[in-house]
Structures are given as structure tokens and as C-alpha cells.
Structure 1
Amino acid sequence: MQVILQIFTDSAVMRVVQEACGPLEVMDPSLLLRPEPTFAAKPVSMFRDYSVDPEDPIKERVRVTYHKMHTYQTVDFVRGKMDYWLRFDKFCSTVMDALVKMNDLVDESDPDVDIPNLVHAFQTAERIRADHPQEDWFHLTGLIHDLGKIMAFYGEPQWAVVGDTFPVGCAWGNSIVYRQTSFKNNPDGNNSLYNTKFGIYKPNCGLEDEVMSWGHDEYMYQVLKHNKTTLPEEALYMIRFHSFYPWHAGGDYTHLCNEKDHKMLHWVHEFNKYDLYTKSADVPDVESLMPYYQSLIDKYIPGEIEW
């Protein structure tokens, strides 16, 4: 734990974060979800900037990650990944051990911060805890929402792990980041089964019946279901769809939503403001917080689980 805290407080890491937080031009519809004033660790216009600047290493890293994602995430690719990962035979570990591993992961699709994912996990969880003190399941949801990114340590490229998600098997939504340029080499765009408004789906079929682009959201949801977590349905829904920005922020894909999706949208919006607007260089005291969150893990996802 001492090593983890030393990494968190390293001045070089903080300098990178500060450099990444200069004046930015936001090009993303999620700005419609403006944070409460108390969430504004930095101006709202500085979040989710996907403008293109080849001279900016973080912006270029983000753009390349998304272009690979939008090229290779096809119906066949996703079905293959589901077949591979949802055997749950890759490894066994406790949730806390998996979380600590996130100290070695920096999300290549994130234009907001360049810090280890474990920092983001505790930032999100602690802000939820402050505003929802009685809902311990919500605190734990904030802590583990990105834990599916552990796939990056087991052979998956980040474009198949991180970033915004979208349904495969139907026309791509207009609000997907880099939409106008990033899908030009995706073969599903030329497949008449997959390139129409509804594609392989029926109107109002419900998001849970869609095949989403493969990534950490779907994987973590499936891991929790497989290991029989007692987290409530709201928690599982937030984990499964928190990266589906084209829907919950961009307003796309409503023609595929059912009544449950419309009701759950409230929870996704509530979660999103903590997931997005708590990103900053402020590092929580992870070591002192470990016992509390371990107690929640013991309550909702105890022991070693199958991944």
C-alpha cells in the first residue's frame, strides 16, 4: 500500500494531470448534463473534449484509441469476445485485489485526466458517499464501476476495454465521438443486416437485449451476475450502461429503449455526474478508506470471485 500511495503523490503524475487540464474546447453533447456547482473541480467546458490536435499527445492518444475501436468493433468481434470472456475461467481474485491492480492502468480513451484508474475509482465512490450516505450499495458501485478494465492486463487492447460504448448490429448514432471519420473502415457499415436504423433489433426492444460494443461495462456486469452479487438492479444497470454516452448524454438510440430503460435513465444520470465530474488531481487517502470499502465488498461481493 505504501508503494501505491507513493505513486499517487508523485509530482510528475500531478504535473501531467495539470498539463492535461488546460483550456479546452468541448465538442461533446454530454455537456447537457451540467454538474451541480459543487462538482465543478474545473469548468464544465473542460470535460470530454474530443477536438483533434495532432500536436497534443493526450488528444491524439484518445483519437487513435477511438478510431481503432470504431474500426474493429463489429457484431462478429463482440460475439467472439463474449464467448471468450464469459466463460469466467481467466483467473480468480478478490475484488479488492483486482482494484489495487487498477493502480497500473491509465485509460487511453480519457481526455480529462491521465492518472491511475484506482484514483478515479475512489474519487467517484467518495463523492457518491458524501451525497448519498445511506446508500452503501451506491458507494460500492462507484468504486467498482470501471473494474472490468482489468481485461487490459490479460491481453485485450484498450480499444476493446475502455471508452464510450454503442450498440453493434444497427446504424451508429450521430453523437458517437469522432462519428464522421472513425467508422469508415468498419465492415458492418456495408452490411445491410447491420447498417439500418433498427438493424438486428426490434423497436423498443430494450437496451438489455442489445449487443453492445465490447468493453469493461458489459464485462463487469456479467462478472457480477455470474458471481451472484447482491447489489441491487440499479447498481447493475449503472455499471452496464454508464459508458453508453450516445444514449444517456447524446439522446441517440431512444427508438430501442423500453419502459425500464426510461425509468433507469434517472439512475444513470445520477451516477454519471460522479463518474465524470469528480475527475481531478485531488487524490483521496486510499489507505484510510480501504477498511470501509472492504466491508462493502464483504457484504455484496465476498471472497474470491471468478473472472
Structure 2
Amino acid sequence: MTVIVDQPQLGVDVEDKSTSTDSNELVLDGGFAVPETNSFGHTFRDYDVESERKKVVEEFYRMNHIHQSFELVSKMREEYGKLNRVEMSIWECCELLNSFVDESDPDIDEPQIEHLLQTAEAIRRDYPDEDWLHLTGLIHDLGKVLLHPSFGALPQWAVVGDTFPVGCAFDESNVHFKYFKENPDYSNPAYNTKFGVYSEGCGLDKVLMSWGHDDYMYLVSKENKTTLPSAALFIIRYHSFYPLHRSGAYKHLMNEEDVENLKWLHIFNKYDLYSKSKVRIDVEKVKPYYMSLIEKYFPAKLRW
């Protein structure tokens, strides 16, 4: 991977994958070396530590948990599922994200294009033969264009952050769970039981997730007939579903295909989370490679 600042690279050589010479790094499967602390000097996904972003992040989740109801998600999915906003390429969408910073993220405050390339390049280093996974790393957050005026300039609480099912009880593993008590679904007997409107093993594709960039990019990819494998679509749709892939919540809703795809999501999540840093990627140097993957798996122009 190409870096243009004098900092340690995100990966280590394959022959060194079992050890690390830096006591401040962890080595994950595949040889990926990651720092123990985020850009602010704290552990990753620590929502309680005092930091300059703590208040912003907590206010984000307060608004998110109050408003993400079954009714709202149903309306948003119907409206944005029409894909009638604009036609543009994948790379044009990447460039649109340059002006946005994710308010829900306690680990970094860099523009989104940096995170996309950090994730993709880290995966590419450790899984050189899985080009579909490289591209998934690049595009997984493109649904954040919902923040752009062309898409209605949705508030951040309706675009980013951890996702969770609506239509059944909110699990206590959700970040800042206390704010769900102000959500209208919290006291609605149709939605506040373990299964709610669902059934055991129904499959996550039958479950409404809180609205945001994950589900939107999934809809964009699926409806534009991408040839990416099902595992890629699963990653795109559920990469922010931390209650599931970090805490094991909501597994009673999964089917056998979900179980298999979750294995890939666990691999992906390491790179999505731990590649976040101040290390910058030489965009022009890696762009031709990713353009070739976009051409392989997507049409030239997509409906958004």
C-alpha cells in the first residue's frame, strides 16, 4: 500500500504475520497490523472516554435512537428505494464524500474518501486474490451520499452510526441503549418483544434495519444489478450492525445463508474498524486498480 506521510504502514509483510515489532500494534489474521489506539489516542469504539468528540457522538445516538422507528424506516426505504435522485458512477460518488465527516464515529474525523481507501488497501494487502472484497472495502460507505443536498441532505442520525433491527425489541448491546426509551416503538407491544413482527430464523433479508447508508448502498447495488457475490452485499448491508457482529445479538433472526456470510463480515470488520488512521493514501496511484474493479462488477452509471 502506498502512503505519503512518514508513518507506519497499515500492513506487515506476510512472513511477519505472527509477530509485531511494535508493542503498540496488534496483528490480526492475514498479517494486518493495527494500532491499539485511534486518532485521538483512545481505544477504538470507546463511547465513554472523555474526548473532544464524546459529546457530538452521544448527541448523535440520542437523536438516532429516538427517531429510528419502524414507521420511519418503512417510509425512508420506500422513498429512497425508487433510486430516482441522480445517475452517476461509483467513482463520482466516492468523490462526493470528500466533504463529509461521520459524526457517529469516535475514532476519526477525516473525510470519508480517506476511510474508504484505507479499508480497501488494507484488505487488498492481506487478501490479494479476493478482488470483490477490495471493491467492497471501497464502496461499503458510499451510501453516506444521503448527506448530500442532491439526496435531501438527510441529518446524520438518518445516515450513519451503528444499525439495528426495528420491528422487534431493541437489544441492550446497542450503543447508548438508554435513549431508545424515548422511541415510540419501545412501548409498542407490536414491536417490543424478542421477535416482534418477525419469526425465528426468518433471515435478515426479511428484517427492517434502522435506515442509513448501509441499507441504501445495498439497495443501490442490488437494483443496479451488480455482479458482486452475496457475501459482498451482506457486508454492505450489515457492516454497521455491531450488535450482531460484535455482541452476537439478534442471531435468532438469522438463517443459514446469514451464518455463512457473517464469516466474511467478521473478516471485513477488522479492516473497516482498525484501518482508520491519519495515514493517507496516494489516490491517483491506486485509482486505476479500483476503476478496473468497478468496471468488472458494476455498470458505468448507476441509478441512485
TM range (shorter): 0.7 to 0.9
Residue 4 of structure 1: aligned partner: none
Residue 42 of structure 1: aligned partner: 36
Residue 267 of structure 1: aligned partner: 264
Distance 2:49 2:167 in 1: 28
1:236-276 C-alpha deviation (Å, 9 max, x unpaired): 11111111000111111111111111111110101000100
Distance 2:201 2:102 in 1: 33
Following superposition of structure 1 onto structure 2, how do residues 205-244 of structure 1 map, counting pairs within 5 Å? 205-244=202-241
2:103 pairs, out of 99, 108, 122, with: 108
Residue 162 of structure 1: aligned partner: 160
| Aligned CA distance change for structure 1 residues 189 and 60 (closer, same or farther; 3 Å) | same
CA contact (8 A) 1:122 1:143 kept: yes
For structure 2, list consecutive stretches of 5 or more residues without a partner in the other structure: 8-25
Following superposition of structure 1 onto structure 2, how do residues 117-266 of structure 1 map, counting pairs within 5 Å? 117-153=112-148, 154=151, 155-179=153-177, 181-266=178-263
1:210-237 C-alpha deviation (Å, 9 max, x unpaired): 0000011110011001111111111111
Deviation of 1:39 after TM superposition, in Å, equals: 2.8
Q: How many aligned residue pairs are there?
A: 276
Identity of aligned residues (%): 50
Counterpart residue identity of residue 163, structure 1? G
2:55 pairs, out of 50, 53, 60, with: 60
Deviation of 1:168 after TM superposition, in Å, equals: 0.2
Where is the helix percentage greater, Structure 1 or Structure 2? 1
TM-score by length of 2: 0.87
1:175-230 C-alpha deviation (Å, 9 max, x unpaired): 10011x21121010111000011100001111111000001111001100111111
CA contact (8 A) 2:32 2:126 kept: no
What is the root-mean-square deviation in Å for CA atoms of aligned residues?
A: 2.0
Distance 1:306 1:76 in 2: 25
Which 4+ runs in 1 deviate beyond 2 A?
33-39, 41-45
Distance 1:80 1:38 in 2: 40
| Aligned CA distance change for structure 1 residues 143 and 259 (closer, same or farther; 3 Å) | same
Deviation of 1:43 after TM superposition, in Å, equals: 4.0
CA contact (8 A) 2:66 2:179 kept: yes
1:33-66 C-alpha deviation (Å, 9 max, x unpaired): 994574322348710011164xx43111111111
1:48-104 C-alpha deviation (Å, 9 max, x unpaired): 011164xx4311111111110100000000001011100000111111010011111
Distance 1:173 1:102 in 2: 31
